[in-house]
Amino acid sequence: MKEVIVLGRPIIFQFYDQQLSQKFKVYKPWESSLPLEQFITTYAQSVEAMICSPMRIGSQISSSILNLLPLLRVIVTPSTGLDHIDLVECRRRGISVASAPTVFSEDVADFSVGLLIDVLRKITAADRFVRNGLWPLRGDFPLGSKVGSRKVGIVGLGSIGLKVAQRLEAFGCIISYQSRKKKPVSYPFYPDIHELATRCDVLVICCALTDQTRHLINKEVLLALGKEGIIINIARGPIINEMELVQCLKQGEIAGAGLDVFENEPNVPEELPSLDNVVLTRHVAYYTEDSFKTIYELICGNLEAFFLNKPLLSPVLDD
Amino acid sequence: MKEVIVLGRPIIFQFYDQQLSQKFKVYKPWESSLPLEQFITTYAQSVEAMICSPMRIGSQISSSILNLLPLLRVIVTPSTGLDHIDLVECRRRGISVASAPTVFSEDVADFSVGLLIDVLRKITAADRFVRNGLWPLRGDFPLGSKVGSRKVGIVGLGSIGLKVAQRLEAFGCIISYQSRKKKPVSYPFYPDIHELATRCDVLVICCALTDQTRHLINKEVLLALGKEGIIINIARGPIINEMELVQCLKQGEIAGAGLDVFENEPNVPEELPSLDNVVLTRHVAYYTEDSFKTIYELICGNLEAFFLNKPLLSPVLDD
């Protein structure tokens, strides 16, 4: 039987537990009373494959976890981001990693456009206004800002960022981007995030979380974006210095934010829910029936390829 | 001095009262203690121009209002919709009407796409989830539905409908439409609303409110749309039979709705705010700083043209 250890309780198991458990012998620590380390060592002498979770709480695949699994040869992560896996250590140990590089791109791009329209046009705020019964009581509601002709800077023009740009072009937004290197596109390229922020009304964060991008968006960048500026983050929380963002939002140094990710999920800074100029969602930009079905198939395909000694379907390759 | 009577307290006066009052002698019943009819008759022997409000409560420009103003020669409405004006009576009396036919098209189209993404991807519901502090307490959140490859039926392919279609194409939606007549576009055309609903996952209501479209969307159409179906209305509330919509939403006969307009504004059916599968906004699809500036300029332009005996900038022409 093909053994697979599953760490971090990936959300896919909420929807495809039964199917995965029929295809593989799946070891799930959350169904065991054993402490995690003891649970892992129970299977250490046979298990070669792992599914891990991209949600970061207590599910970092660090060298200390890898030390417990000497036979491990493959990790399958149902995510685009890889910041929860110690890739250097995996490489050193010859552990292959399979990810889901573009499965979620369209859904995440759609969601980020939804957040952008919502913040500019105050959809969630208007919904609260109506649900709270304020419409018959109060005539006033603040005007929104037009989406079209907004200057939008895409931070990280990968698979997601490119799809965000293509969608926003249909609204008449003016696109530019920052990225590690220039891409073969016609959008203006600004290697310096500070310059991008200065030139834009909206920043949409689409880059991976790395040592280089951690706290890339800090107070200086937010001040450069300016009082009319909007920030959208559907990538990873720690790319923004959250404390500085909260201060800027509270003090009106920027106009608003649409945040699907946070530095310390599932915790959201306590100041944010009282603000009307933010939209706060629970890391669901990738969260659709369609993409979970695709991801389930991709997990199975990668694991089956591994057990048949075939090439992985979606291997993570060295840069 | 160019006299203008203003009925229905148009929202533009929240933002451009001072500027309008400098350019014209503006008679505003809401600043007077006189009853409306008495207020109107006070100026009836001199006033030739009116600005009216597209918001419908107590501001219908009916023949009884027109009877009070025998010298009236022009009505300027800061709206695309004309259902608040008795156009037949205006025509009979030789009163010209100027509207704002496309000023709001882009903003309304943007907003309807925002509502569509929001309902499919549960943005407002996710924001409530986070604001209510549920994220750290509960892991579960329902999956959304992908925007791309959704079959979207546009009801009324005018200026707004066409812009909605163009935007949604960038998301990979499959567009078809219903309209009074076939348009020179490549989207499939279904003259029968029932057939459109049968073939689509989402209906976006973009048509004008007329005797033909009142309650066009009734229970039969909603049942044809089906249990996975979504309805978006940014046009006028009475195009939908609201009571039947509420029943269908409550009983799961359709999946969700994004409603910016209601039959009896500012009142919203009391069952709706307790539902999680609806987004409810306060008739703000057209509500941006940019379009209010444009509308202000268009109102002034039309009135100045009238007082100079020049052609109106945006006259309403007979069908």
H or E element: which one contains B256? strand B256-259
Q: Point out the residues of A that are catalytic.
A: 236, 265, 283
Q: Which residues pair with B75 in a beta bridge?
A: B50, B97
Query: DSSP labels for A98-165?
Result: E--TTTTHHHHHHHHHHHHHHHHHTHHHHHHHHHTT-TTT------B--STT-EEEEES-SHHHHHHH
Q: Is B281 on the interface with A (CB under 8 A)?
A: yes
Among the CATH numbers 1.10.3720.10, 3.40.50.300, 3.40.50.720, 3.20.80.10, which is that of B3-103+289-307? 3.40.50.720
Report the C-alpha gap between A167 and A161 in whole angstroms. Answer: 10
Residues B284, B258 contacting (CB under 8 angstroms): no
Q: What is the pLDDT of residues B154-179, one digit of tens each?
A: 999 999 999 999 999 999 999 999 99
A chain contacts of residue B172, beta-carbon cutoff 8 Å: 106
Is A114 in contact with B111 (Cβ distance < 8 A)?
no
- Is the model's pLDDT at B314 over the cut of 90? yes
Is B145 in contact with A289 (Cβ distance < 8 A)?
yes
Q: Is B131 on the interface with A (CB under 8 A)?
A: yes
Q: What torsion, rounded to 10 degrees, do the Cα atoms A79, A80, A84, A88 define?
A: 130
For Cα atoms B162, B314, B235, give the angle at the middle one, nearest 5 degrees: 40
DSSP character for B270?
A: T
Residue B167 is among the residues annotated as catalytic for this protein: no
Q: What is the pLDDT of residues A139-156, one digit of tens each?
A: 789 999 999 999 999 999
Q: Do domains B3-103+289-307 and B105-280 have the same CATH topology?
A: yes
- Is the model's pLDDT at B40 over the cut of 60? yes
For residue A162, what are its two tokens?
């490119």
Read off the amino acid at residue A16: Y
Measured distance between the N- and C-terminal CA atoms of chain A, rounded to whole angstroms: 34
By C-alpha distance, which of A126, A109, A174, A185 is closest to A148?
Answer: A174
Q: What is the pLDDT of residues B195-204, one digit of tens each?
A: 999 999 999 9
The pairing of beta strand B151-155 with beta strand B74-76: unpaired
Q: What is the pLDDT of residues A60-107, one digit of tens each?
A: 899 999 999 999 999 999 988 888 999 999 999 999 999 998 889 999
User: What sections of A68-122 are H helices per DSSP?
Assistant: 87-93, 105-121
Q: Kindly identify which residue of chain A lies nearest to residue B171, measuring between CA atoms.
A: A167
Q: Is A148 on the interface with B (CB under 8 A)?
A: yes
* Global ipTM: 0.90
A chain contacts of residue B291, beta-carbon cutoff 8 Å: 146
Domain boundaries, chain B: 3-103+289-307, 105-280
Residues in chain A: 319
- Is the model's pLDDT at B319 over the cut of 60? no
Report the C-alpha gap between A202 and A117 in whole angstroms. Answer: 11
Q: Kindly identify which residue of chain B lies nearest to residue A271, measuring between CA atoms.
A: B131
Q: Which residues pair with B232 in a beta bridge?
A: B204, B258
pLDDT for res A120? 98
Is B110 in contact with A290 (Cβ distance < 8 A)?
no
Residue B150 is among the residues annotated as catalytic for this protein: no
Report the C-alpha gap between B143 and B134 in whole angstroms. Answer: 16
Residues B135, A268 contacting (CB under 8 angstroms): yes
Residue B236 is among the residues annotated as catalytic for this protein: yes
Q: Kindly identify which residue of chain A lies nearest to residue B274, measuring between CA atoms.
A: A131
Residues B282, B257 contacting (CB under 8 angstroms): no
User: What sections of B200-272 are H helices per DSSP?
Assistant: 219-225, 242-250
Say which CATH architecture domain B105-280 belongs to. 3-Layer(aba) Sandwich (3.40)
pLDDT for res A59? 67
Is A117 in contact with B122 (Cβ distance < 8 A)?
no
- Is the model's pLDDT at B120 over the cut of 90? yes
The three-state secondary structure class of B133 is coil
